[in-house]
Amino acid sequence: MTELLLIRHGQSQAQSGDDLDQVNPALSARGQLQAGRVAGVLAAFKPELVVVSPLRRAWQTYIVRVVFDSRIAEGNWGNPEFYAGIQPVRTPDFGAPDMHAAWKLPAEQRAAALLNDMLACGIARIAIVGHWGIFRELFRVFCADGQASMVTVVATMDNCAVARLAVDERGTRVIHAWNERAHVADLLE
């Protein structure tokens, strides 16, 4: 069985109104508090691998040894050049560098490639720290058994909310939780 724990980043300074940078903002003060609560959730999950978006608000949510992966960068919201101004993104030294350079690929294509790789890698417990836009696409691909164009799904996530998905030995896809946020309920607006 492969289990995926999806964790949305904490509130960004763009969300709080402290920074006009919509592309690569840092965490807000509230986002830092939210991110502090994620440690307990991750400790309970005991991931064998942690994969993180190279965008600042995601890696500030979980700062330990990780693997950066541009396939889980936020969606480009219909604008293929949305992230052009910050590429290549400089990531901190505490993580293995992004080996995919997938910034310009459509979000559904990135999500399908990521999910297929995660399910094929043989690792049982994987945590992914990223963004609700790409998680929405990942959820669509997960529900469609790898066929992203086959299912229309809208699945929002609050800041630092958690989703837990699994695929068992028979290939059955199981949604254990989506948008679980009890650990940060008092820190949500």
DSSP string, 55-121: SHHHHTTS-SSEEE-GGGSPP-TT-TTTTGGGPSPP--TTEEPPS---TTS-HHHHHHHHHHHHHHS
pTM: 0.88
Half-sphere exposure of 110 (CA within 13 A, CB side): 24
Kindly report, residue by residue over 14-40, the tens digit of the pLDDT: 999 998 888 889 999 999 999 999 989
Helix (H) or strand (E) holding 6: strand 2-8
Is it true that the peptide bond before 88 is cis, omega within 30 degrees of 0? yes
Cα angle: 128, vertex 174, 180; to 5 degrees: 55
The confidence band for 146, taking pLDDT boundaries of 50, 70 and 90, is low
Q: Which domain holds residue 128?
A: 2-187
- The residue among 13 and 148 whose pLDDT is bigger is 13
| pLDDT attached to residue 16 | 94
Location of structure tokens 């064998």: 48
Specify the number of domains making up the chain: 1
B/e letters for 130-155, b = 16+ CB within 10 Å, e = fewer, are: bbbbbbbbbbbbbbbeeebeeeeeeb
Is pLDDT of 147 > 60?
Answer: no
Question: In 118-161, where do the E strands start and end?
Answer: 125-130
CATH of the domain at 25: 3.40.50.1240
End-to-end CA distance of the chain, in Å? 36
| pLDDT attached to residue 41 | 93
Is pLDDT of 76 > 90?
Answer: no
| pLDDT attached to residue 95 | 84
The confidence band for 161, taking pLDDT boundaries of 50, 70 and 90, is very high
Is pLDDT of 148 > 70?
Answer: no
The confidence band for 149, taking pLDDT boundaries of 50, 70 and 90, is low
> What backbone torsions phi and psi does residue 19 show, to the nearest 5 degrees?
-150, 135
Kindly report, residue by residue over 58-74, the tens digit of the pLDDT: 888 876 678 889 898 88
